[in-house]
Structure 1
Amino acid sequence: MTDLLYSDTEEELRSAVRSLLADRCDSAAVLARAETGRPHDPALWDTLATGIGAAGLLVPEKLGGQGASHREAAVVLEELGRAVAPVPYLTSAVLATEILLGCDTPEVTPLLRELASGDRVCVPVVPLSLAPGAPLPVGAVRDSGGGVLTGRVTAVADAVAADVLLVLADTGLYAVPAASAELAAQVPLDLTRPLATVTLGAAAGTLLADPATARAAVAGALLSGAGLLASEQLGIAEWCLTETVGYVRGRHQFNRPVGSFQALKHRLARLWLDVASARAAARAAADALAVAAPDAPLTVAVAQAYCSGVAVRAAEECVQLHGGIGMTWEHPAHLYLKRAKADAVALGTAGHHRGLVADFAELPSP
């Protein structure tokens, strides 16, 4: 039976991550870093990855990791979503780690140990919009012989923070030092998760897996990433709801708190129900991935199809119900709206995932 409740261990992990983010990643700090164009906070990542050990949650203990499951990783992503934290957790600790675990070859062991310890940030060179069930961009990078790679991939998230790039080429999966690639920053909607175009011009890579193994590993990682992204979207929605309720309780109009007006009560009540449902969907996806449930692809598709829209609606309501201040750059609401909008197309749109649900149910796609 699916367990949607948080365990004591998960709550302790949440408390540690939330305390760290409250101390080191408040909205003013995030805004200040976002304005520089280089939002990543290396000191925050080092503490999260090594101090708390979050980078190695999905890595088995025998490889230096925590030997935890997707449920614990989901809790971390939920808290990172609540803070729109500018760290490469989704790309490195989830996507890259899942790809390496899926390869299961001797060549990936040293890299997994470095990822688990926080010594390396590893990012897969795939577009952030690439969805589970979609064709993989195998032809974008080609091996000209001896692991010398040439090609170009756009919209690669967190590439600017990477030490190692995982490149899916026509002859397999390769590890390429980030310094060997040319990175051209793109203008992202979400200022806290930078995108870049990665160009490989005769870059030497280390072969990690053959083509069939590499494709299967990337496909599995996209599924896990989409499922855990729902928890980040849940965190965004929870922050927006909490912040908005607190604001309308204290904001007075006509000598009354604006939150006492029936129309606003109804809107916030509907949003609360949406967030509660999103929590159930996200937790179900994390649990299905943790136990490798046969219906995990369906559960993940349901979670993404639902949580994506909830995060956007919650952020839009946050901006609107904050009135004039919600439209300003100084208030962090715009960061949450941009992250929610960017997440809505990351790892597949809601429409794509609804199509997957229809396919699993053997029904015509909407």
Structure 2
Amino acid sequence: MWLLVARHGDPGSDRDGAALRFLLVTVVGSSLVLLGILALATALGTTDLQVWAAQGGATLGRGSQLAIAATLLVGLALKVPVFPLHTWLPWVHATAPTAGSVLLAAVLLKLGTYGMVRLVVPVVPEGFAAWSPLLGGLAVAGIVWASLICLVERDLKRLIAWSSVAHLGFVVLGIASGTQAGLQAALFGNVAHGLVSALLFVVVGGLKHRWGSADLTLRHAALREVTPHLGLALMVGMAASSGLPGLAVFWGEIGGLLAAWSPAPDRPEGWFRAFAVVGAVGGALAVAYTVRVLREVWFGDRVEPRIPDAVRTERTALRLLGVLVLLLGLLPTVLLSVTAPFVEGVLAR
């Protein structure tokens, strides 16, 4: 990623600064995660993840669980990223080439949520339960904050990056709820966001290359008039990003909200219900910024300045991603049936 951003990023931006910030953030996060892993290995006498999960923190005191869970969660929150540790993401996304943005959004950010599910939820459950109200509160704060920024952001690529912060907030909220439904929704949201963000970054990267910038305030030809392939892909991606039923993101977000409304018994129900309400407001804001983007870029009868439509490689990628977004939206059990036994195993421990 450092190589992609620093050597192949947008030449009109501070590529070295963005690459250095990404490197520092990910190294700090990894160092904290390593510290938490070493603490667990020292306390439990093994580095076998299955043994850690099977013990479920039974041999660790409450103080140790709180400290280890906090260390792991801060390190992983940097990678997700969770509000207010998110400020590095829009800058890196805006600077990175299309391949770097797709890799970062669709794969690397998921390492943070994967680490929470694998290293924190089953291994130090008491510590995670204690910190989960704070984690859920930060998640919904990120949802609303990022959505509000999307309403005024001028750079289309940065806007998609900010929307990623909001979508991952729903994932973290589902994990924090401590329920099977929440964990299922989080894993589904992980995959759905990976597909939708990859789709949008391919579209936006192509548009930025053709326009010369991603500034929404500049006058552009309406995509529905001059580039039907890119226009359709943008429409599908933004509709999915807004949580439209029938598309992939809907199931992860509605599942996260429902899980927050009925959290695990050891979570404060009042707080999590408040988080669900605030998260729903963030979902409504997503519809608002989706309409804003489509009005500025897709809608209208402008035909100048003309730009070429998607080339064959772009069309192939966009069709594949679009079909997967639609498939998971219409048949969510295709993915839920795969993750269900593992979720049950994690929570049963």
TM-score (norm 1): 0.34
Q: Which has the higher strand share?
A: 1
Query: So what's the TM-score if we normalise by structure 2?
Result: 0.35
Query: Which one has the bigger helix percentage?
Result: 2
